Structure 1
Amino acid sequence: MYYIPFNSILDYTVPFNTITDGCKKYRQGKSKSWANKKDTNDKRKVLIDIDSIPEPTRKKYNIPTGREYFEQEELDRYTATQEKIQKEKELRADVEKLALHDAYNNGYMPFVAMYRERYSYNRTIKDDVAVLSAREHAFWVKMVEVTGTKYKTYDGGCKRGFNLYMELKKELVFTKDFANENYFRILLLKFRTKLLKEQSIVDVVVNGHKKPREKKKTNEFHKGVTMAFLSHPNKYPYRVVTDLVNHHCIEENQPEITESWVKFLMASDNHFRTFVMASRNGNKFTTDNLFAFAVRKTTPFPADCWMIDGTPVQFYCWNESRTKSVRLNLFVIIDVCTRKIVGFDISYSESKFEIMNALKNTVMMEGHLPAEIVSDNFSASKSEEIMTLKAQMEKIGTIWRHAKVGNPQDKTYVERFFGTFQSVECALYDDYIGEGITSKRDNRRNAEHLEKTVKAKGLPTYSEMISRIVTMITKYNERAKTAQKSPLEVYRTLPKPNAKELDSVRTALLFWKRTKVTVRRGMVKIIIKETPHFYEVYENHLKAELQGKEVYVRYDENDLECIMLFDKLTDLVICKCNKSLEFHTAQVNRKQEDIENTYKTVAKNKSYEKYLKDGKNTIIDNGLKAINKENLDLIHPLMLDKNKINEKESLEVQEYYLNVFKIAKGDEEQPQTKPLGTIHQKGVITDYTDLLEQKKPQKGFSKPTLAGVDK
């Protein structure tokens, strides 16, 4: 029942007599319509149940139902409340706008002198600029106050402050003219942070008007000697390098440097840092991080190439006799094209028998061998059984080769499988211990959880673990990804033109888009539709300049033969990059072009290696030319005075302990006298033996040799 006042019914133009007659009949019990009762708060008033009004009367005067009436009442109250809130907001905005306006026009005088002094270094800057900056100073101080406190911003304060700024900039003049709310938020945060720390906001207000820098105190000599010490394999810390360089600065009458200068040089000069890293960390680091690698194409067909490898599973179980807990070893064979596990074997440890069993299981299941098998240099590869198996495979056309030592990319697919297998399949089980400590994935279970799981369920038996591994491998093969078929289905449907079938006898035996990437090894990698694409920076100086830097990459999804690199800060174009040279992983797919691409890749890396060495030597040469010297002995750290014992008391302590341990004068370690090394200018002869060798006559030369002249 929905009771409303008598007068509310009159608002619908219902005749007075109609209402009173209906209510009278209801009270006399003659009708159930026009149900009414006295208002408990005011006995003079009558409340009528709106739903008891006869239907013809309701339709004639458009009277709503009780629910509709009260919903409309609620809507009217909500609208009235919102109108009241909006009026309060508008009133508040007017007050805040007036305060900002007043600060800009009347509150700037205390700051004028500050900005006159700030611009005093440049006579071309007029006094009007100082006054304008002072006005902005007062404006932003008031803006911080309007939008919150110096500690934090009010809820919705930034949005309100930005709207006020956009309105006021139509009336007032600002040096900063922007229409981006995010920029306003960043700028307001800078002002609030400065005021919180009780620091001056002058530098933020002046917006780029900086004082002229002092003249550089360093020159090419400093860079050259710093390069020599920083690139040394001893990897001296910046503090030690500073001491060593300053020693030579004093000797050569050059200004001394600071540790912060060395840090700034390494942080700001990427070219310089690349030269340093190329020598400082050794050849392997240079090869792994600076030189481009050869990109391998995925094999187009199943059974073109299989990769094999083994690893302990990340579960503990009982051995067959239930005497100790063990981790079983899983040896898998993966098809490079489809990523299907075509075969596997499980044992306590990797052995020749496990490898042969895995291959046998694969042949029994698939009925063929691939054109090529790739494995690591496992210890059993030289065993008689494996050698015989290789020879038999060669007869039917299957090549078995070993991945190159120190080149994990040669066997990348099987290595990647183990990571996927553990993170997708193994991680589903409660007793999964997680990947090894060298893994980058943070999925190792804590010891408390594992102990609790083992106590609750116990360790799996040997048979249970074998069953679990078989189930996981099978599920991996049939697991499909989004818009990608399962390995099992792909392997089944694609043709296998290079597979070596076995009979029963042999069976026994985009418009351009933008993304942000980091340049590494002179290469750029972008992933489009889950497919990686590699591009190479061809100019050596750009390789060194961009090494480890983030850049913007723009590319056309419909034509991925080339991309463009842009500076991340200025968005200016850097260079154009073409696709990296590629060659097929499996030798069976390689053509003459693939072979040429491998040679070109090696040649480019050699060229880059020479550029890095020449660049380093050029910097050192310039350093030596700056002091007019052909060579310079680099002082050893132990030869610095600060690293020697100079105090009399310390010398006495040293002598005392030498006597205690009975160390004679001639038996003690001799002080360091030889330099760390010598740096030379290009073309300076450093070894006269080489010169004598050059003077020796060639075979068949009739003139007397130097040895003959001596006689």
Structure 2
Amino acid sequence: MEKGYLRIINNDTYVSKQFLVDNGYNPRTLENHLSRYNKGKAFSFANKKELGDNMIWIFYNSIPKNLILKYGLPRNSDEAKKILNNAIPDDLDRGNSYWEGQFKKFWFEKGNWVRYLPMYSGYLLGENQKRAYAKTHYIVNLTIRLRYKGVPKIELYNAYMKLPHIIFKTNSYRYFWEKMKQCEKKGIPETLIHDFKINGREPYKVSIMVRGLIQLYYGTPKGYNIPKIHKLVNSDLRARGLLTISLSTVYKICSDVEMKNRWDALRYGKAYAKNNLFPYLEREEPEAVGDVYEIDSTRINFPFKEDGEIRYLNLCAMMDVHTRKIVGYSFADSENFEAVKECLKIAFIENHVVPNHIVCDNGSAYTNYKFENLTNLLNDFGVNVRHCKVDNPGDKGHIERWFGILQESYLNNHVGFLGEGIKSKRKNGRKNRHLEALYKSKKYLISRIEFIDLIKEEINNYNTNYSKVVDGIPDKLFRAGKKGITRTFKNFDIAFIFGKMKRIKVSRSKVKFVLDGRKYAYTIWSSKWANKLNRTKVHVYYQPLAMEEINLFDSQGNFLINLQRDKSIKQITYTNNEIKAYQHFHEKMTKRIKDNFEGIFEKAVDTEEYLSELPNLSMDDELIEKMKAIRMQDKGLIRDALKDYRLKELDDKGFFDTIGNNPYTGELKIYTPKPKRNTKFKILKDETTSKK
């Protein structure tokens, strides 16, 4: 006999493939199981075809028990025969009707069922399962309403059963309408959820307190993994005599995208949030060669041997942003002004282009008095030198990205390169420890000269071959764009820019020398320094085009005193449009950060209050105090992480709603650099003056 999904062959119960598919089994997986049985590789999913019938029938007792439990199928063949062989009206299958087409249309229109999604969001269901529940909810509600409007019940039943992936399905006409009555009495969500099982048990809701505990342990900067979070949460629950949760529950909550986007900023820190979560300011690309140069330094994690020791070098590089060509570079044992100066010098000597803007870093090599003097000199040539925004390396993102390209695409091919190091933000940015140890052995270490030659060769390869960022090779684009440039450096200009030093004897409290036929004299007015320096020789550092100020050093290179004259400094100008753009972006960024962290600490406090209100059913005070200490420590770390974002706490509970002092306050003004004394050294006041 045959009835829909069912066929009895030699008194054995068989079901069709469609029976399993309609109950949620993956069609491709089912085909694989059937193929394995037919090839003699498995005993499950025994199947056969009857003579003259192309339909495949599956022996019900060969279906694995775990799949029967997982998909809520009849537990044995007798139960399957009883359910599937249930009496159904003879006119049940009358072909497609008007309501079948309407139900399919309503099923696929998102606007009909999307409003029911929140009713199932509290259950641990996958996204596809939640949508299936919401769609089924709408169809059940529609079926009940149409029934009272006089639509024939058999047409509604037919239309309902033809829908794909619907949660509740049965071949029993009577049982179907019993379920519809239950939906009217108990409510649709409760009725649907009651009959659906995941891994053999009904879905359950996670309480606000449990969800808060999971988020608290996930968000701590300690970076607990999922099993550790599961262990800590269950320890809290046991301490209160509550039921524990499963590991899969923790995995599901911690994999929620909205939760991760909110808490990852604390879990992984400020740098991760800036690079992966928070928005950034879009900048227009420079239109011509020399419009914008970017300069920065980084340590190359490539060890070499010198004087019997393992050493590393810093690479300082400058890029023309329009063509992405590296126009200058230098090497040094550490990031310092001399390396920056050498990089600029090589760029000007090799290319002679006068850039309109140079964007530099905020490190000590770019903020000392020597760099300020160099900046003032470049201003006289019409070069605007600007520091990138504090804590915002993306402000000079092109040169930052180039360091990644150099190491990722070029140096990574060489034996001895150790990756970008422990500070790398890229997934494969660091080599494994065994390879690091191997590359530091004598066999693989190269000399300093070999290392520098290797870097030079790879930079040249980049300039003459790389074409993935801009439409063309950097070197060719630079040479083509350079032809139309009229502002260029002459050789004597470059000599003036990078300064000179004279060794001069101090006589009668004066420093005097002649430059280009013109006499210069500087008086030491401090009696203390005059008595120390008279009749001795000092090193005088000066800028030929900025003779209003000189600096005196001893023979060991230690700063002594600054002597200066009145001078005017050209303004570093910003247009009003640039100011408005920076301020507008600052306002949006401030609101974005504030919204992201709104209520985070409040949730931790609420979770603690939930726990404190629960009775101590386990009577284990020691465990309760231990877990409380761990939570307090973690909340302290979270509070410190929030401080790193400069968020101001309003009270002891940790609520906050304002942004504190940011690196950039939004109050950008037209800035005029003023002559500054060297702040790195303190010039002692005259003793007679201090006594007064």
TM-score of the pair, normalised by structure 2: 0.47
TM-score of the pair, normalised by structure 1: 0.46
Greater radius of gyration (CA): 1
